[in-house]
Structure 1
């Protein structure tokens, strides 16, 4: 809108458009210095939680948006990040995308999300070719499948890129915490309840996360001196968890079912109930992820809480460290998975509670 242009108010009169909020406005509403607001927007972590909360409330109240055009003109650098992802309907990729968008915004960047079709290799190549033509500061490649990781590793990006992909050994990845901390805690919980024979419902084999969870399950079971009595296949959906159990000619001789994510655990629970099993009196069921609905399953689901948003923030700040050549990301390692015990896990049959 040109300077001096006015818009019509409710009564037909003209009113001057509201002026965009500045960091000084945010500072005044939050009761902090403008330097504090600036540090917050740049992702600085050394801000007290109560101060951070005041700034967040003020940003929301004023609808503050950083002036990226002015910043780009001043610095000569773009402040747009291209984020490449897939399977956005799944909980993990969806929450990671949300966390990445928030982290980019707080750091003064705009995140453009592109969801790719992993079933069409040509479509992946065309989308990657297209996004490399944009004026981007960097690219965040969020990969969970072999096809996506291969595509990201073969494309030549002309800007800094961070590929957030879980390696099969998971040694250097933040998701290694699932192997070293999370899964051992989940299996130790079942062992403490007297469970000795466990079944794992796995995700699709083209996902490195699924393969790592199988490996983590096997290692944790062996470490506790328990026995794995089967690996069933799923595709992360509740339907696949249901079919994995309901289509078995006979139920395995297991005291607990360990699903690779909460949605499959939901399907497993229904299939077991339809086959006459009580949960947890006859068999326990546990999951991984701690989706918001997990606390409202019937019974509420014991699971591992995965902080997807923190993982996304960590990845975004690793990319920004490359873009801004600061060397060290402003945000460190995300928290390890936490065991959340609910009523879907109980003493194994024959074990006194």
Structure 2
């Protein structure tokens, strides 16, 4: 009895020469098509692409990268993907990179300990990228300098990183000041603050701006209350603020917590903005649909992403700058119907 065995076939990677033979063109033409070069007649390009598909050809990106000295890829490390700001910033980076002909490799860093962060960084040596963008805060980057791949340029998004040469950041403190000064300008004696989590650097910067504006105006600085960026945390903290009859103005560290505050104020019978004016931060599309529409500090995430990518590519092409370079993207206050004049009995300035 003869055992039926499948005929063995030698597996061989399809080469550029195979594609050229199938399409009836030179290998140089195949290379141009594979690299996206425009100088190929459209009909010829379609013939080469058809041959690639028929043969199952895939360009050897690693070999091409070695030849050209570029992987056409940017690496993005992010400590969280759970907040709206981080998601929109990473989206902006990816879109801006794509517009420049670069792919994006995203590496989430969910480690809760420094050892866990270090383990992620130790694997970066294997990453085939032209530059790195670090959406991480300074305490997590304690050992980054000695663990980053040698020769790979880095753009940081935290100005507190001591060894950072190129930084792109949003003016968080300036946004906090804008929100607070707007409310003071409406006649409110002081401004309460519903802050983000204690571990967040953007939250800390927004607190700085709030406090500085009150201090410069000679106003009382109330104790802040904290949330965790979520609607529910805004509601729980908002219940505390709603019980304070002296609270007529609240600056919330993001729009989601402002929505929770809306609910807490409504349950306490306090109207926005007639009894309490509210300002958020982020200027989300949802905030524009709140009732009433939310006054908010606008962050230009698209501009942040564009500047991160532009800075990374400049490092790739020109090398490190002679001096540290910090790019601060400004914020803007967008005024809507959630803010108004202070109630008459509380509109007098508080004593300095």
TM-score bin (small chain):
0.7 to 0.9
Counterpart pick for 2:135 among 139, 142, 147: 142
State the shift of 1:278 in Å: 0.6
Deviations 1:123-154 (A, max 9, x none): 4333222232122212211114x543335456
Deviations 1:236-283 (A, max 9, x none): 111111111225694262110111111111111111111111111111
Residues 1:186 and 1:312: Cα distance change in structure 2 (over 3 Å): same
SS of equivalent to 1:227: coil
SS of equivalent to 2:211: helix
Residues 1:281 and 1:305: Cα distance change in structure 2 (over 3 Å): same
Deviations 1:156-190 (A, max 9, x none): 33222222214399xx965463434x333322221
Q: TM-score, normalised by structure 1?
A: 0.73
Contiguous gaps of at least 5 residues in structure 1:
7-18, 29-66
Residues 1:191 and 1:247: Cα distance change in structure 2 (over 3 Å): closer
Counterpart pick for 2:260 among 242, 267, 272: 267
Match for residue 232 of structure 2? Answer: 239
Match for residue 341 of structure 2? Answer: 347
Residues 1:273 and 1:151: Cα distance change in structure 2 (over 3 Å): farther
Between 1:187-196 and 1:254-263, the stretch displaced more is 187-196
Structure number with higher relative contact order (C-alpha < 8 Å, ≥ 6 residues apart): 2
Residues 1:83 and 1:350: Cα distance change in structure 2 (over 3 Å): same
Match for residue 338 of structure 1? Answer: 332
CA distance in structure 2 between the partners assigned to 1:138 and 1:173 by the alignment: 14
Residues 1:243 and 1:227: Cα distance change in structure 2 (over 3 Å): same
Residues 1:252 and 1:5: Cα distance change in structure 2 (over 3 Å): farther
CA RMSD of aligned residues (A): 3.5
Pairing of 1:9-158 with structure 2 (within 5 A): 24=38, 72=65, 74-144=67-137, 146-150=138-142, 152-153=144-145, 155-158=147-150
Native 8 Å contact 2:172 2:202 kept in 1? no
Deviations 1:171-210 (A, max 9, x none): x965463434x33332222122111121111111111211
Contiguous gaps of at least 5 residues in structure 2:
1-13, 24-32, 43-59, 348-352
Deviations 1:34-84 (A, max 9, x none): xxxxxxxxxxxxxxxxxxxxxxxxxxxxxxxxx977963542322222110
Q: TM-score, normalised by structure 2?
A: 0.73
Q: Mark the structure with the bigger radius of gyration.
A: 2
State the shift of 1:327 in Å: 5.8
Residues 1:278 and 1:154: Cα distance change in structure 2 (over 3 Å): farther
Native 8 Å contact 1:229 1:253 kept in 2? no
Native 8 Å contact 2:170 2:329 kept in 1? no
Native 8 Å contact 1:100 1:316 kept in 2? yes
Residues 1:228 and 1:166: Cα distance change in structure 2 (over 3 Å): same
Q: Does 1:321 align with 2:314?
A: yes
